[in-house]
Structure 1
Amino acid sequence: MGPRQPPANAGYTTAEVLAWLEARASAENCAGMARFGINTDKAFGVSNAVLRPFANTLGRNLTRALELWDSGWREARLLALFTDDPDCLDLARAHAMAHDFNSWEIVDQASDLFVEAGHLDVLAPEFAADEREFVRRTAFSMIALAAVHLKKRNDAEFLVFLPLIERHATDPRNFVRKAVNWALRQIGKRSIVLHGPAFECARTLATSDDKNARWIGRDALRELSSGKVQTRLKNKPRPA
């Protein structure tokens, strides 16, 4: 086998990436994104289905990722997240990025990067305590994504997030509420060990006096009690 070839567009500069995006701009796509709650105040209207393959041709490049993020464009920031180097993402930069969050879509992609960088345990409680809507969403998006992607992590380490979920289940803001629900469901679906505690948390929330907590609890109970989830968990091999 010969040496691995670099990505096709690895040498693209930030200016060339922005020009590539501008050439594919679509006002119609922007309107469609806005209907899904995506912030399009500064967007070209290039879909993720186009951005993801392009990011693969760019490869990782920290300097370019930083410049793309600083441009403020929706698509440039997504490409920055797709091509950033998680090994070079420290807590200070994560906090600085969070200051710029203005859309659930950016939050969820950044959450994936933050988890990959190893910052779940520090950032999740810090961001949950932050009153800013999209920063708080980041906490629970990170928990949800970690429950899926950190397969080697001990299940018991996710139990510490259930009190955090219960504490913030009363947040009435839509993007927070949905992320809290997402985190609870993903923890409960991770393993048979976590299913019981997550189910009990959901049951507690479902009987809350707060309507937002009730919605989260009832929705989580509906999924966690489904036959599909029950069967998958029973058939899932336990770690040695």
Structure 2
Amino acid sequence: MQLWQSDIREARLLALCTAEPKRLTAEEARSWANDFNSWEIVDCAADLFVGARLDELISEFAADEREFVRRAAFAMISATAVHRKNEGDLAILAWLPLIQAHSGDSRNFVRKAVNWALRSIGKRNRGCHGPALRLAKLLAESSDKTARWIGRDAVRELSGEKLMARLK
């Protein structure tokens, strides 16, 4: 906590890397989120929050208008899809509507995280690939420029030969 409170970037990264996930509370995570001011801090925090199993914060953070707090929601979805191998596919796929709902947020760090979350879900396994690719194709046809960018980029990656071979 002292490292985080120092307000020094490197100290905050060290705080995130050395914090014990099992001891981190949702209230502490919310407090840290109030200080988010860069993508690297957010992405490191997302891994910690996922390790702490603070999934209840995802919807809360997604609803927050602050750019880096909203990014945290989608970085957490991505980290969950990638790192929680034993998590059921239905739990992972349940985040697709949230991705769709925020696909029009054109702020750079949010749109990139929304795209990252969609791609991570689609690359997880065969069961998640189809629903994620369907959403990506839907977004690719959107009249919203940001949603269209997210969709097209995800379709390109989720349709790649290398990924398709891995998922077979």
Q: 1:84 aligns with which of 19, 30, 35?
A: 19
Question: Take 2:22 and 2:91, find their aligned partners in 1: how far apart are those partners?
Answer: 22
Question: Take 1:85 and 1:194, find their aligned partners in 2: how far apart are those partners?
Answer: 30
Question: How far off is 1:71 after superposition?
Answer: 0.1
SS of the aligned residue for 2:41 comes to: helix
Question: How far off is 1:144 after superposition?
Answer: 0.4
1:44-77 alpha-carbon deviations (Å, 9 max, x no partner): xxxxxxxxxxxxxxxxxxxxxx100000100000
1:56-109 alpha-carbon deviations (Å, 9 max, x no partner): xxxxxxxxxx10000010000000011111111111111000000000000000
Aligned length: 168
Does 2:35 correspond to 1:100?
Answer: yes
Does 2:115 correspond to 1:181?
Answer: yes
Question: How far off is 1:159 after superposition?
Answer: 1.2
RMSD (Å), alpha carbons? 0.5
1:141-183 alpha-carbon deviations (Å, 9 max, x no partner): 0000111100111111111100000000000100000000000
* Paired letter, 1:141: A
Q: 2:4–2:11: 8 Å Cα contact kept in structure 1?
A: yes
Aligned to 2:83: 149
Question: Take 1:119 and 1:233, find their aligned partners in 2: how far apart are those partners?
Answer: 29
Question: How far off is 1:123 after superposition?
Answer: 0.8
Aligned to 1:17: none
* Paired letter, 1:202: A
Select the structure with the greater relative contact order (CA < 8 A; seq sep ≥ 6). 2
Identity of aligned residues (%): 61
Q: 1:133 aligns with which of 67, 76, 84?
A: 67
What TM-score do you get using the length of structure 2 for normalisation? 0.99
Aligned to 1:47: none
Aligned to 2:102: 168
Aligned to 1:75: 10
* Paired letter, 2:99: I
Does 2:158 correspond to 1:191?
Answer: no
What TM-score do you get using the length of structure 1 for normalisation? 0.69
Q: 2:163 aligns with which of 218, 223, 229?
A: 229
* Paired letter, 1:143: I
Aligned to 2:93: 159
Aligned to 1:202: 136
